[in-house]
Amino acid sequence: MEDLKSIENKIKEISENYKEEPTGGYITGDGPVPCDILFVGEAPGKTEVEQGKPFVGLAGKTFEKYLNIIGLTRNKVRITNTCFFRPITIKEGKNGKVTISNRTPKIKEISLFKEILDAEISLVNPKIIITLGNVPLKRLTSFKSIGECHGNLYFNEDLKRYIFPMYHPSALTYNKTEEFNKAYYEDWVKLKKVLETQKNKIF
């Protein structure tokens, strides 16, 4: 089995050798190993690369707020991503001003890290994997979209592990309706219940 150091070295090697599309740095997962609870996000953004940790930017603040609401803290969970480099789009405006923005990782970019994420899951050996948004959901399950499965617990036969799909925390930035806020909060409450009631079964 791979150890953490070799996983980190491979992330560095893959990220530094990838020249097909623009990228803006890379990070590794964060948190204890092994760990019963693993959150899997999409890909790091600017702040994550600057600080070398997943979910420390705007979406990360939302994520951590809800994590704390259900009585968990970052040091109790492992957090990682599906794509370990920051996928970016670089645009030059008419005035010559260059803007850099995040983009969703392409399928080929997610594939580059398939073995890395699998190795991290094996090493972390979580009892439950919480996918954040569509990118990790589609990478790890056969669900077509987060809308059809969020807030429910599934046993994934391929991984032989429980999966709990959730919306990505940045969805709250795009959908500010009271209805969505409520649904998002309720998913966290459901996760809390799952962690409590499944404790004897899966932990």
- For the CB of residue 54, give the shortest distance to ligand URA in the complex, in Å: 3
- Nearer CB in complex with ligand URA: 26/162: 26
Q: Give the distance from CA 171 to its chain's centroid.
A: 13
**Closer CB to ligand URA, 101 or 197, in the complex:** 101
What pairing do the DSSP bridges indicate for beta strands 98-102 and 78-81? Answer: unpaired
Give the residue with the Cβ less far from ligand URA, 60 or 165. 60
Q: Smallest distance from the beta carbon of 60 to ligand URA, in angstroms?
A: 6
Helix (H) or strand (E) holding 124: helix 114-124
CA–CA separation, 40 and 161 (whole Å): 14
Burial class (CB in 10 A: 0-12, 13-18, 19+), 147: exposed
Ramachandran angles phi, psi of 24, nearest 5°: -130, 60
- Tell me the closest approach of the beta carbon of residue 52 to ligand URA, in angstroms: 11
Does residue 105 have a cis bond before it (omega within 30 degrees)? no
> Nearer to ligand URA by C-beta: 7 or 160?
7
Is the CB of 51 or the CB of 198 nearer to ligand URA? 51
Q: Beta-carbon neighbour count of residue 65 at 10 Å?
A: 12
* Per-residue tokens: 200: 């004897």
CB closest to ligand URA, residue no: 41
Cα distance between residue 126 and residue 140, in whole Å: 14
Residue 61 C-beta: closest distance to ligand URA, Å:
10
Using CB under 6 A as the criterion, which residues of the chain lie in contact with ligand URA when the complex forms? 41-45, 48, 54-55, 57, 59-60, 81
Task: Find the shortest distance in angstroms from Cβ 81 to ligand URA.
Answer: 5
As measured in angstroms, the least distance from the Cβ of 91 to ligand URA is 21
Identify which of residues 43 and 119 has a Cβ nearer to ligand URA in the complex: 43
